């Protein structure tokens, strides 16, 4: 009954979304209708989030109660599953995750309606109309191809369970974060549409105001996407069994593309806002970023790519999402081409200036985005044309990204140090020389400590050190005027922290990747109880194996004792779990997490009465996620600045 | 035992899925230089029955066989290029994670350079154009 109600409410939500998309358009044809259009669209936005929220609650209820008469619950849940995974199971499948997607879309729409009171009515109305169109598209996709409330009668007694590797706290939070990022870029998309639709019309103020209004929404989406990708990477690191953190898997690439484009957008919108230039590029980027978010969804949901993520592959759904993707992208680009001449021309530009370096940043990020896109799509296209099957994997992406990262990281710290308009390098000469010398010194000391590396690796190390040092210098310069009241941490301006944290975070992340990939140690042994194992100047002893019972699995648990080092006397307990309901197994690595390195132990199969143990030492690997957190924190400070100033 | 059965089930399902693990005990070569080359090469070769895993990351039997083949040939003195060619001959180009530069892969390798140059060109033009017009 509750399920039928949820289904019915979803139909109502579609009606409201359609009304939100088309009714205000009728009023917007005349200047006098702006206020009416806005008040209609605002109410529709609120109503939409309430309806979809109620529908989502109904589905959650079915999962919590293990109502196996619902198809999705039967296929993705099990009565013997811990409560958190019953709830996470709501979005651990295609239908539920698309419902979550539309819920987040509606939530963004309502948040905009709530906070946009100071924006011109006409502009806001166009934003909400675009959100209404998107809502209609995704709601009809749900109802016509992916109904989460489809019944299965007669109801089975037990569910098929959730894939065990997905039964994990990090993975419970991964999809909502990622979606909050993807869908967040629908806001900058809607702003771009509204900016194009109202281009050339008499405005309150300048015609680049949209860039200022857009920025907090780009930041919000970017923070969520950063956290979502980082969490997914951390999950892969500890769950997939050997400590890899990024596989250049097509599905990872699908999330990286909007992130790269979104990062470019974040910076170009800053130029558009401050210098009234790069406006055309920023609008194009806003459209492309959201198109990449949509194509991420298309790639994952259509089954074009085979991957752990691609549950419920269905060509019909793929075609529908492809139609949404093509429809919105082509429509937006047509509007772009048609309205572009109405936009006031871009302002002046100097190569040595902050905007000059932000332009360089955009060129590199665009190149990176295109590289990931081509690398992901090319094998599919080649195969589709019958020109052979090839693979594009990590070695390709590493080979292209490494030489791009070096100049990118070298130019990056100069941006915040230069002023807008006409920057001068001369006063910065001392800083630059000091920073470069320190980065080189650190790199040379690495060679002395760790032995020779390839030129490319050393260049990347030097560039990463330079990034961190540059961020430190940037922070120093911004806090210097406030040196008398540094202790009143909370009253310091947020702007002082945003760029240094985000840029320094990137440097920390790069250092983590370099250290973890270059200095990784690995021991693979077949051990009998009592055997000692040496790795990374630590001695471990394998004590033996025992069987344990989990809430919905059985496990073999090995025990390893630290004999030496700072952890002497403590244990590692790697497990192999067997999930009865899902008939599959997982390995649970035991990880000692120090900032300087992780000891990572996995228990394998039996070999001649001995037990295969695989033990890795991943030096400084935590820097990867620490760096991502710093970047997100930088975004957070940027957002705080915006909210304090008022949108 | 259960692990074996499940492995079999996965094999029958056609794809070797997670969990992934690398080498088995005793697989590594005693010569460290050769072993380093073997690892680097293994990371470039695709495990054909897996989901986007290199033979270095996978514990599928096929991946193990290929790892052994790589090591046997390295010990016999083959060059990296010879081993890659042998793998391509047996399994096709699909087995290479780093596509070879050829006419059908040229766009793949050229694209980053083209975009970078295009970006540089347009950026440069933007600056030249704008310096001549007075700032608003």
* Partner-chain residue, chosen from B21, B97, B104, that has the shortest CB–CB distance to A604: B21
| Segment A172-195 mean pLDDT | 95
Evaluate whether residue A86 is within a structural domain.
Answer: yes
Average pLDDT value for residue range A449-463: 94
CB B40 within 8 A of CB B75: no
Interchain CB contact of B8 with A (< 8 Å): no
Q: Is residue A369 part of a domain?
A: no
pLDDT digits (tens, 9 = 90+) for A403-435: 999 999 999 999 999 989 888 888 889 989 999
Averaged pLDDT, A312-335: 84
Q: What are phi and psi of A61, to 5 degrees?
A: -60, -45
Q: Do residue B120 and residue A249 have CB atoms under 8 angstroms apart?
A: no
Contacts of A605 in chain B (CB under 8 A): 3-4
Do residue A371 and residue B3 have CB atoms under 8 angstroms apart? no
Q: Is the pLDDT of residue A207 over 80?
A: no
* Sign of the dihedral defined by the CA atoms of residues B80, B81, B86, B89, in that order: positive
**Interval A60-113: pLDDT, tens:** 999 999 989 998 898 888 888 888 889 988 988 889 999 999 999 999 999 999
Interface mutation vs chain A, best among B5, B22, B43, most A CBs within 10 Å:
B22
Is some CB atom of chain A closer than 8 A to the CB atom of B102? no
Same domain? A35 vs A130: yes
By Cβ distance, the residue of A367, A394, A576 closest to B112 is A367
Per the CB < 8 A criterion, the answer to whether A142 and A148 are in contact is: yes
pLDDT of A5: 95
CA distance B77 to chain A (A): 24
Residue A305 has pLDDT above 80, yes or no: no
Instruction: Give pLDDT, residue A584.
Output: 80
Contacts A247 to B, Cβ<8 Å:
52-53
CB contact under 8 A, B119 and A366: yes
What's residue B132's pLDDT? 40
pLDDT band of residue A54 (cuts 50, 70, 90) is: very high
Q: Please state the φ and ψ torsions of residue A591, each to the nearest 5 degrees.
A: -125, 130
Q: Are residues A488 and A546 in the same domain?
A: no
What average pLDDT does range B20-25 have in this prediction?
A: 63
Q: Which of B125, B127, B132 is the best residue to mutate to test the A interface, defined by the most A CB atoms within 10 Å of its own CB? A: B127
Optimal mutation site among A166, A393, A533, A618, interface B, most CBs of chain B within 10 A: A393
Range with the poorest average pLDDT among A25-39, A595-609, B4-18, B47-61: B4-18
pLDDT(A35) > 50: yes
A426 and A496, same domain (yes or no) = yes
Measured at the alpha carbon of residue A595, what is the angle toward residues A589 and A601, in degrees to the nearest 5?
20
pLDDT at B58 over 90: no
Choose among A241, A391, A421: nearest Cβ to B18: A241
State residue A510's pLDDT score: 98
- Domain co-membership, A505 together with A552: no
- Are residues A529 and A449 both part of a single domain? no
Best to test chain A binding among B98, B103, B109, B110 (most A CBs inside 10 Å): B98
Q: What confidence score (pLDDT) does residue A205 get?
A: 58
Supply the pLDDT for residue A314. Answer: 63
- Do the domain assignments include residue A218? no
Considering the domain architecture, whether residues A485 and A509 belong to the same structural domain is answered as yes
Same domain, residue pair A121 and A11: yes
Residues A45 and A140 in one domain: yes
Closest CA to A128 of A192, A58, A201, A44: A44
pLDDT score recorded for residue A422: 80
pLDDT over threshold 70, residue A200: yes
Interchain pair A359, B51: CB under 8 A: no
Nearest CA in chain B to A603: B21
Chain B residue whose CA is closest to A368: B112
Q: Burial letters for A25-35: b for 16+ Cβ neighbours within 10 Å, e otherwise?
A: bebbeeeebbe
Q: Kindly state whether residues A480 and A579 are assigned to the same domain.
A: no
- Residue A456: inside a domain, yes or no? yes
- Give residues 73 to 92 of B whose Cβ lies within 8 Å of A: 92
Q: Choose from A297-301, A546-550, A628-632 the range with maximum mean pLDDT.
A: A628-632
Chain B partners of A244 at a C-beta cutoff of 8 Å? 20, 57
Instruction: Evaluate whether residue A413 is within a structural domain.
Output: yes
Could you report the per-residue pLDDT of B86-106, keeping only the tens digit for each?
999 999 999 999 999 999 999
Least confident of A315-324, A482-491, B4-13: B4-13
Please provide the average confidence, as pLDDT, over all residues in chain A.
Answer: 90
Distance CA A398, CA A244 (A): 14
Interface of A with B in 310-339 (CB under 8 A): none
For chain B, the straight-line distance linking the first and the last C-alpha, in angstroms and rounded, comes to 77
Judge whether residue B133 has pLDDT over 50: no
Residues A549 and A486 in one domain: no
Residues of chain B with Cβ-Cβ distance to A364 below 8 Å are: 116, 119
Sequence-ordered strand ranges (E) for A392-463? none
Contacts of A585 in chain B (CB under 8 A): 2-3, 6, 19
Q: Smallest Cβ distance to A390: which of B94, B115, B120? A: B94
**A526 close to B (CB below 8 A):** yes
Which token pair is A390? 């090839």
CA-CA distance, B66 to B4, in Å (whole number)? 20
**Do A348 and B130 lie within an 8 Å CB cutoff?**
yes
Contact A363 B116 (CB under 8 A): yes
Half-sphere exposure of A303 (CA within 13 A, CB side): 11
Q: Residue B14: which pLDDT band, with cuts at 50, 70 and 90? A: very low
State the residue range of the domain holding A430: 401-519+624-633
Q: Is residue A367 part of a domain?
A: no
Q: Are A604 and A611 in contact (CB under 8 A)?
A: yes
In a domain, A21, yes or no: yes
CATH of the domain at A87: 1.20.120
Flag whether residue A589 sits within 8 Å of chain B, measured between CB atoms.
no
- Looking at the complex, does the CB of residue A241 fall below 8 Å from at least one CB of chain B? yes
CA of A235 to nearest chain B CA: how many angstroms apart? Answer: 13
CB contact under 8 A, B21 and A244: no
**pLDDT, mean of residues A49-55:** 97
* Final residue of a structural domain among A167, A186, A201: A167
Closest CA–CA distance from residue A103 to any residue of chain B (Å): 31
Chain A touched by B21 (CB under 8 Å): yes
Domain check: are A417 and A529 in the same one?
A: no
A-chain residues within 8 Å CB-CB of B57?
242, 244
Could you tell me the pLDDT band of residue A307, with boundaries at 50, 70 and 90? very low
The residue from A147, A167, A187 where one domain ends is A167
Count of A-B CB contacts under 8 Å: 160
Same domain, A547 and A499: no
Residue A180: inside a domain: no
Which of A511, A468, A467, A249 minimizes the C-alpha distance to A361? A467
pLDDT digits (tens, 9 = 90+) for A220-252: 999 999 999 999 999 989 887 778 899 898 888
Which pLDDT score is estimated for A638? 93
* Chain A contact for B115 (CB, 8 A cutoff): yes
Answer whether A363 sits within 8 Å of B27, measured CB to CB.
no
The overall pTM is greater than 0.80: yes
Which chain A positions have a beta carbon within 8 Å of B133's beta carbon?
348
A631 touches chain B (CB under 8 A): no
Q: How many domains does chain A have?
A: 3
Contact call for A391 and B126, based on CB within 8 A: no
CB distance A41 to A125 below 8 Å: yes
**Residue, of A621 and A167, whose pLDDT is higher:** A621
User: Cα separation of A61 and A638, whole Å?
Assistant: 38
Question: Contact, A527 vs A610, CB < 8 A?
Answer: yes
């Amino acid at each position: 009954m509750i399920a039928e109600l949820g289904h019915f409410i979803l139909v109502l939500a579609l009606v409201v979304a359609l009304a939100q998309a088309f009714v205000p358009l009728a009023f917007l044809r005349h200047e006098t209708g702006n206020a009416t259009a806005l008040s209609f669209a605002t109410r529709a936005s609120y109503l939409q989030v309430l309806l979809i929220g109620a529908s989502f609650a109904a589905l959650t209820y079915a999962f919590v109660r293990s109502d196996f008469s619902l198809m999705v619950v039967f296929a993705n849940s099990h009565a013997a599953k811990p409560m958190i995974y019953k709830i996470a199971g709501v979005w651990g499948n295609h239908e539920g995750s698309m419902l979550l997607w539309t819920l987040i879309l509606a939530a963004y729409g309502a948040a905009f309606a709530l906070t946009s009171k100071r924006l011109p009515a006409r502009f806001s109305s166009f934003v909400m109309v675009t959100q209404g169109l998107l809502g209609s598209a995704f709601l009809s996709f749900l109802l016509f191809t992916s109904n989460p409330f489809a019944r299965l009668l007669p109801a089975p007694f037990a569910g098929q369970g959730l894939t065990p590797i997905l039964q994990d706290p990090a993975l419970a939070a991964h999809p909502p974060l990622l979606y909050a990022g993807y869908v967040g870029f629908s806001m900058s998309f809607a702003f771009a549409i509204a900016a194009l639709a109202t281009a050339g019309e008499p405005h309150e103020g300048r015609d680049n105001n949209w860039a200022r209004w857009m920025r907090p929404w780009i930041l919000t989406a970017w923070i969520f996407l950063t956290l979502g990708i980082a969490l997914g990477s951390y999950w892969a690191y500890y769950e997939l069994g050997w400590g890899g953190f990024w596989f250049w898997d097509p599905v990872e690439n699908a999330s990286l593309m909007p992130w790269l484009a979104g990062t470019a957008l974040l910076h170009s919108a800053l130029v558009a806002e401050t210098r009234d230039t790069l406006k055309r590029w920023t609008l194009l980027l806003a459209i492309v970023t959201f198109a990449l978010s949509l194509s991420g969804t298309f790639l994952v949901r259509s089954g074009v790519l085979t991957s752990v993520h691609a549950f419920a592959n269905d060509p019909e759904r793929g075609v529908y999402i492809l139609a949404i993707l093509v429809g919105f992208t082509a429509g937006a680009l047509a509007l772009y081409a048609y309205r572009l001449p109405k936009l006031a021309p871009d302002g002046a530009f100097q190569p040595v200036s902050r905007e000059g370096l932000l332009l360089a940043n955009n060129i590199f990020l665009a190149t990176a985005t295109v590289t990931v896109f081509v690398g992901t799509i090319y094998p599919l296209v080649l195969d589709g044309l019958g020109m052979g099957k090839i693979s594009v994997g990590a070695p390709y992406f590493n080979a292209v990204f490494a030489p791009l990262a070096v100049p990118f990281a070298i130019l990056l710290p100069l941006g915040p140090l230069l002023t807008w308009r006409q920057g001068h390098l001369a006063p910065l000469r001392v800083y630059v020389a000091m920073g470069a010398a320190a980065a080189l010194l650190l790199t040379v000391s690495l060679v002395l400590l760790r032995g020779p590396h390839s030129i490319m690796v050393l260049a990347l190390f030097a560039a990463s050190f330079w990034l961190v040092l540059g961020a430190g210098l940037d922070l120093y310069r911004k806090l210097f005027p406030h040196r008398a009241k540094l202790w009143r941490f909370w009253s310091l301006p947020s702007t002082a922290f945003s760029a240094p944290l985000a840029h320094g975070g990137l440097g920390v992340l790069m250092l983590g990747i370099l250290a973890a990939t270059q200095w990784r140690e690995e021991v693979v042994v077949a051990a009998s109880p009592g055997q000692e194992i040496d790795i990374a100047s630590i001695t471990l002893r394998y004590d033996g194996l025992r069987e344990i019972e989990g809430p919905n699995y059985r496990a073999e648990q090995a025990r390893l004792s630290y004999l030496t080092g700072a952890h002497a006397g403590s244990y590692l307990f790697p497990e192999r779990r067997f999930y009865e309901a899902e008939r599959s197994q997982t390995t649970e690595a035991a990880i000692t997490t120090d900032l300087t390195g992780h000891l990572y132990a996995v228990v394998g199969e039996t070999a001649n009465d001995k037990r295969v143990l695989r033990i890795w030492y991943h030096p400084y690997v935590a820097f990867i996620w620490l760096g991502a957190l710093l970047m997100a924190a930088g975004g957070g400070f940027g957002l705080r600045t915006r909210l304090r100033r008022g949108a | 035992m259960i692990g074996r059965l499940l492995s079999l089930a996965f094999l029958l399902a056609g794809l070797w899925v997670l969990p992934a693990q690398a080498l088995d005990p005793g697989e590594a070569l005693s010569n460290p230089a050769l072993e380093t080359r073997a690892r680097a090469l293994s990371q470039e070769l695709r495990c054909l029955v897996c989901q986007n895993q290199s033979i270095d990351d996978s514990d599928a039997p096929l991946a193990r066989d290929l790892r052994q083949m790589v090591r046997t040939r390295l010990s016999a003195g083959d060059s990296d290029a010879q081993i890659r060619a042998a793998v391509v001959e047996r399994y096709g180009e699909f087995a290479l994670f780093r596509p070879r530069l050829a006419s059908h892969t040229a766009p793949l390798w050229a694209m980053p350079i083209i975009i970078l140059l295009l970006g540089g060109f347009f950026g440069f033009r933007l600056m030249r154009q704008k310096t001549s017009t007075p700032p608003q």
